[in-house]
Structure 1
Amino acid sequence: MAAPRSRILDLLKVQCRIFSHTFNPENLRLGNKILRQRLRGAALASYYPRKTVTFEDLERAYRPMGLITFDPLRSHHEEMNQMLDYRRKLRGKGAPKKKRTAAGTNNPYPLGVFCIILHLYAYSRDQEPLPL
């Protein structure tokens, strides 16, 4: 003869109380396994070494005082990047040219026309015209 479900649940509840488990008769996923684990923050923080002072930090700190440094490795990387950019441009794969005017400006009187008008105005008033 099988025991009634309520009796089995009562027994399970007592068992969970004795062994310090959570009572979950519907078998829902509550994440208790993860919550019972020790916190890992200190272990992860101590895994990586503390940040030490680098050459770039010293360079940045003393640049206002006029310190000029030369890093051959950095200059080599810059030269290589310039060479690669030049090669890409030769193959037609380089960055597009920058636009000369802003996208949203539709000025009917560009600056050159304004300078000519100002020059003519000064000439009509018998003043010394501004150099163009």
Structure 2
Amino acid sequence: MSGVSPLRLLQLKKLQCAVFQTAFNPKSIRTGAKYLRARLRGPSMLNYYPELITIPMVQKEFPSFNVKDLQEEQRLEDVEDRKSRGKGTPRKARNKDESRRTKRRR
């Protein structure tokens, strides 16, 4: 009994791939198909981690509750403190003459 020729095996593999709708890759070149076939991880991760409930979300959902956001109050205090020391954000230019760019070009 002689073995089947490699050419016949290649033709058989090609036909098999056509029938079962798989990729025909006789030279075993990396195609990334393994990763494209893999299940997506994003939906599973979203289901794993619970949705965080924040104070602004509670304030928006239930405006009748008098809930204080201490972090937001502290942030606003810090902004006012910086403004009083002259370290606040620069004022926006209302027209082209107040712009810093035009002052630099002159």
The alignment's TM-score, normalised by the length of structure 1, stands at 0.42
Larger Rg: 1
Question: Which structure is richer in relative contact order (CA contacts within 8 A, separation 6 or more)?
Answer: 2
